[in-house]
Amino acid sequence: MSLLVTEWSKAQPGARVAGLATADVQSVSGVKDLVAAVLEHGLVVLPSQPLAIMQVLAETVGTAEVVLPVEHRYPGSESLRLQSNVPGVGVNGGGHYWHADGSWLPRSMDLTLLACIEAPSEGGTTSFVDAAAVYDDFDDEFREFVNGLTGSFPNREVLRADLQAMGLNSQEMLDRTVDVTHPAVRVHPYTGRRALIVNEVWMRGIVGMSDDAADPVLSDLARRVERSSFRYVHRWTAGDLLIWDNHRVLHKAAPPPAGTVKTTVRARVPQLADRWLP
């Protein structure tokens, strides 16, 4: 196996990976090389990949998350989530805000895998920001300030509202959901790098601050991410497979224009298996 890894630039997260075949994701060296590329670059883009590759990878690098509610599962799979702007097909919309997947959980998801089945002719992009580079770019005074912030995630309240908006009532999901707090700056569990991890929907407050005091701080953090130059914008093509590191990269989806179709399949890996770590 020989992965060809092409980095965009030092100012953007991500790299393009070519040369991946089905045999590679079934080999120890192939998976280790791919995981190493994700941890090094934050995001990898693999064009022209069959969905089967994603399924094998999601179950190989760790134990993939079980998708709930069941209405959102890709047919025949417990760990793949179907996402589309077509009414009645999987999850409709969502993710149109800066976040890291699972940043509201007790522990963030390690990896997200996202495959494109049908791409819109225009729009519907997904933007990625290198949250570690954003943090590194702060001046010393602001870095010290954000290091002292702890975000509040009222998860049950947010989830209940989300389910109601989708017309769903998953008591199982609510029973498994707890409110949490997390530092605004998190330390990567494998690389040790610090990153500014914001979530514009689930992170609703700052511990020790009133809402009136916290709201402008949260808005400022999101604005700094939005204006960051450490950004890569992905324009989807059917067959694209993206894999990213949620401890380093934030992302935000743009809705596709009316009259176009965007359908993707997502898998999330809560924790990498030890055998793949550098």
Which pLDDT belongs to residue 2?
62
Question: CA-CA distances (angstroms) from residue 143 to 41, 108, 149?
Answer: 23, 22, 10
Which residue segments constitute the domains of the chain, with CATH numbers given? 4-276 (3.60.130.10)
Q: How many CB atoms lie within 10 A of CB 60?
A: 20
Which pTM was predicted?
0.94
- Count the residues in the chain: 278
Q: Provide Rg for the chain, Cα atoms.
A: 18
Phi, psi (rounded to 5 degrees) for 115: -115, 145
Which residues is 182 bridged to in the sheet? 151
Which pLDDT belongs to residue 163?
83
Which pLDDT belongs to residue 268?
98
Angle between helix 28-41 and 51-60 (nearest 10): 90
Average pLDDT per consecutive 10 residues, the chain (278 residues; last block may be shorter) = 77 88 81 94 95 93 93 95 94 90 95 98 97 98 98 94 80 89 98 97 97 98 97 97 98 96 98 92
CB 115 within 8 A of CB 51: yes
Q: Please give the angle made by the CA atoms of 145, 147 and 204, to the nearest 5 degrees.
A: 90
